[in-house]
Amino acid sequence: MATAQPPAAAEGDLTLGQLLTRALRSADRILQAPAPNDPKLQSDLANTLADLDLSSKLIDHLGVLSPNDSLDDLSTRNLRCLVVPALQAQLALAVRTRGGQERLEWLHRARDHWTRFLDLVDRYAVLGAPGAPGDDDAADERRKALQGPRIGDTDPARRRAGKIAQFKMERDIKRTLDELRARRRTRRVRGSTAPTAASSSTSAAPAAAAADVDDDYPSSSDDEDDATASVARPLLLNLLTLHALRAHADLDSIAHESDLLEHGLKLSEIPSPGPHAAASGARTDGRASQRDGDGDGDADRWRLDSVGDKAGGGPMLSPGGKVLRPFTILPSSSNGGASSSSGQLSTRLRLQSEVFRESWRLPTMTIDEYLEQEEQAGRVLQGGGERTTDEVEQARRDERADDEEDDTREGYERVERGLRKAREWDDYRDEHRKGEGNMHNRG
């Protein structure tokens, strides 16, 4: 079987059309596989990439895609050549790699393939030439939605809107492709059941149709009649549009992944001290302290690897620098002996009491202490008792005295003043409507 042979075994027996048909069908089968990391599938992926590379070289060598041709000048079978770099890019992203450097190389290959594919799409105006006669705002919006968010755009709102537009467009294109595939499947099955002169060919025709029923590409033996071209050509054009949409999305992802890998590779190049370097550094620090005359006191006091051994609880750090048991950093004390240890213990207890406590604030004084403090500050109102009762009684006596003075001249005058004020207020209310003088209620 031709697909089971490696590319180098059958290159001399295959034409460009047959090689291209085999590579395109194998690429679609690999991209639709649920487990791309399978070793058998990775082997087929390498063979398919070799077929696609050879097909791309033959297409350039034979001049199948001429820069002087337009989209209408390309036949339906030659439109398959435009899909080659798109499949190369997708297969390059599916290659299983080991290490960041190898992954970065395959990302650069995929980026080059996608860039070449977009150049071909723009050259032949597969998506429509901008500014062409008949181009409207809807076509311009469609091209913007196809491109999605720009590479390097950090605005979350614009990136989200671009991703949503890409998703909606991809959904519409896939729906159109499903309809065209159903129409093409019906025509292929209908053509395969037509009567033939030889009885042996009637049994082989349905098998050939069943093998090609899910194929998106016309084979080299298909006749480009009106019935076939009316389905195959729109199918290929919509497939190219879908690949162009994936190209813009993958280029954005490739840019982000490349930045992460390059940053990671730069960090991995920074030398890190190992166990031997740590041991040599300890010996160097010891010699320096001995030269300075400090001895083991100040030089080893802050070193965790030596403090753990002196405390008797085992080493605190491994030779590689890994922490072996928990420790607490306490303030240093100039005094030594028992006073230093007792001071560290009290500090440890104080820190422990600040950490392991209730989650709410505890009271710091009683209510009586609080009232006494407020009274000393002068923030407590004094009142009540006999003094207040006497003042109330005096106010009542004064009120009764005023009532008794109503029969006097002063009482009459006071009543007249009250009546006159009430009449003036009634006259004012009659002459002025309510709310007229309210400056805060305008309009």
Distance, CA of 149 to CA of 251 (rounded, Å): 11
pLDDT at 206: 43
pLDDT at 340: 57
H helices, E strands: number in the chain: 16, 0
147-161 pLDDT, tens digit per residue, is 777 666 677 888 888
62 lies in some domain: yes
167 lies in some domain: yes
How much of the chain, in percent, has pLDDT values that exceed 90?
Answer: 15
How many structural domains comprise the chain? Answer: 1
342 lies in some domain: no
Is the model's pLDDT at 386 over the cut of 50?
Answer: yes
Question: Which amino acid is located at 303 in the chain?
Answer: R
DSSP state of 325: S
Distance, CA of 160 to CA of 201 (rounded, Å): 55
Is the model's pLDDT at 425 over the cut of 90?
Answer: yes
* Contact (CB, 8 A) for 10 and 4: no
244 lies in some domain: yes
* 314-333 burial: b if 16+ Cβ within 10 Å, else e: eebbeeeeeeeeeeeeeeee
pLDDT bracket for residue 98 (50, 70, 90): confident
406 lies in some domain: no
pLDDT at 358: 75
Distance, CA of 70 to CA of 58 (rounded, Å): 20
Annotate 375-417 with DSSP letters as a single string: HHTT-S----SHHHHHHHHHHHHHHHHHHHGGGSHHHHHHHHH
Is the model's pLDDT at 198 over the cut of 50?
Answer: no
More confident residue, 283 or 75: 75
pLDDT bracket for residue 426 (50, 70, 90): very high
* Contact (CB, 8 A) for 93 and 103: no
Is the model's pLDDT at 10 over the cut of 50?
Answer: no
238-256 pLDDT, tens digit per residue, is 899 899 988 988 888 898 8
215 lies in some domain: yes
Is the model's pLDDT at 54 over the cut of 70?
Answer: yes
pLDDT at 90: 92
- Average predicted confidence (pLDDT) for the chain: 75
Range of the domain at 101: 2-129+137-191+210-266
pLDDT at 196: 47
305 lies in some domain: no
DSSP H helical ranges for 269-321 = 275-292, 297-301, 304-311
Question: 61-65, 158-162, 189-193, 288-292: which has the minimum mean pLDDT?
Answer: 288-292
pLDDT at 291: 46
56-97 pLDDT, tens digit per residue, is 999 999 888 888 888 888 888 888 899 999 999 999 999 998
44-53 pLDDT, tens digit per residue, is 999 999 999 9
More confident residue, 83 or 143: 83
Beta-ladder partners of 317: 323
Is the model's pLDDT at 3 over the cut of 90?
Answer: no
Question: 206-215, 219-228, 392-401: which has the minimum mean pLDDT?
Answer: 206-215
CA distances from 399 to 375, 405, 411, 422 (A): 35, 10, 13, 21
More confident residue, 4 or 26: 26
Question: 104-108, 390-394, 398-402: which has the minimum mean pLDDT?
Answer: 398-402
Which pTM does this prediction carry? 0.53
pLDDT bracket for residue 413 (50, 70, 90): confident
pLDDT bracket for residue 348 (50, 70, 90): confident
pLDDT at 443: 52
- Residue 99: which CATH number? 1.25.40.540
Question: 52-56, 146-150, 303-307: which has the minimum mean pLDDT?
Answer: 303-307
64 lies in some domain: yes
pLDDT at 394: 83
pLDDT at 309: 53
